[in-house]
Amino acid sequence: MSTTEAVLDQKGGRVAAKTVFFLALIACTLIGGGALIETFLARSRLMDTNLTQLVPWGLGVTMYIYFIGLSAGSFLISSLIYVFKVKRFEEAGRVAVFQAIICLMVGGGCILLDLGHPERMWRLIVNWNPTSLLAWMAVFYTLYILILLPELYLLLREDLIAQGKKAGIVGRIARLLALGKKDLTEENKAKGSKTVILLAMIGIPVAICVHGGTGALFAVVKARPIWYTGLFPFVFLVSAVVSGGGLLTFLMAFFSKSGRKNPGLIRSLAVLTAGVLCLDLFLLVAESLVTFYGGIPDHAEAYAEMFFGPYAFVFWGFQIFLGAAIPLFIVLHPKTKNHVTWLGIGGLLIVIGIIAVRLNIIIPPLIQPEFSSLPDVYHQARWLRGYFPSLSEWLTNIGIVAIGVWAFILGKWLLPLEHVTPEEN
């Protein structure tokens, strides 16, 4: 196959994949948005869930930790560019930071819907408890937002000023976001670059605390042995970088001019993500082998439920096969390892697979009662051993995710997330 034919083949593959993606997005928006509207019109802040007294955390909490991980992972990858000067990822820097903001918003929406009474959020601040991990998480989330927004502004500022000279809504939005600035001196540019580096440096420990702290919320639950380990926050961080890298690879492959012009960028992102994915799999194997070797029933039963229980297809089908084996095959196979479309699809599969990772973190440990005899002595209508998300849970979370996707698409249209040279203008 000639070079021209290869380029046309990749372009045709991207067009077909993007068509399928947008059709699916429109369907999800209509169905999920309808479910959200129905939930709010019913004036009920509680969805019709399949949560039980045994399994109080379900799909809502899963999607929350999933998107917080996507956000933290995306930001940590952007830090490679601005702190550690990894130049080959530079063209993906702005997208990574914007992606982190959108994912944080979606994760917040998922948990607020799951909580049922988001209007009580203020109590966390007024009744702040320094011994509470959740209270500290609120502090770090606030710091994280205060780092992300000015960093994105400084990264976009120069191109916003240039874009503000255009006519139409894009130009008006750019002038508004440029905060009245019409030009930048070289001194201002240098100060801006230094501030970006400083924010990124401060943001690294904050992002680690944001998602590592989320893992710590699980790790201090003594009643669940599978969570009660010092390794758990680190596992959260590693899988966060995997999911953030996978999403960035997908977005740069299908929605970026830089990705089309620079296939090496997509290849580098895919290789980085695959490498961290292998580390994530190693941690899983090490933890499960030690658990089964130790033979502590309460600890081993959760892994047995994950590997061999009624929902084992989530682990083997989605987490291992779809989210790990296929993407690694794509990155390693000679015919696909340099193919932008295939690498982008591999990134998307990793993103989907990490959802299964989050489900397996939450559901199998909760299905096991704290005391084996508890189901025999306690009888109540909502005391059920199994759990599978209700249709309402699926649709409302799909609706929130669809809103986040449209927010990213809108930002991609209005904001100069990729540097545009004067010639391209």
Q: Where do the structural domains in the chain lie, given as residue ranges?
A: 8-414
Residue 14 banded pLDDT, cuts 50, 70, 90: low
Q: What is the C-alpha separation between 306 and 109, in angstroms, rounded?
A: 28
H-helix segments, 255-339: 257-261, 263-294, 297-308, 312-313, 326-332
Between 258 and 65, residue with greater pLDDT: 65
Looking at this protein, which amino acid is placed at residue 49? T
Looking at this protein, which amino acid is placed at residue 24? A
Tokens found for residue 326: 């296929």
Q: Which of 21, 30, 73 is nearest to 345 (CA)?
A: 21
pLDDT digits (tens, 9 = 90+) for 124-170: 778 888 888 888 888 899 999 999 999 999 999 988 888 888 888 88
Q: Which residues contact 340 (CB under 8 A, 6 or more apart)?
A: 10, 14, 253, 259, 260, 263, 266
Inform me whether the pLDDT recorded for 422 exceeds 50: no
Q: Which of 69, 395, 403, 400 is nearest to 247 (CA)?
A: 69
Identify the CATH number of the domain defined by range 8-414. Answer: 1.20.1630.10
Residue 425 banded pLDDT, cuts 50, 70, 90: very low
User: Is 66 within 8 Å of 242 (Cβ atoms)?
Assistant: no
* Residue 295 backbone zone (phi > 0: left; psi -120 to 50: alpha; other: beta): left
Residue 372 banded pLDDT, cuts 50, 70, 90: low
Residue 310 banded pLDDT, cuts 50, 70, 90: confident
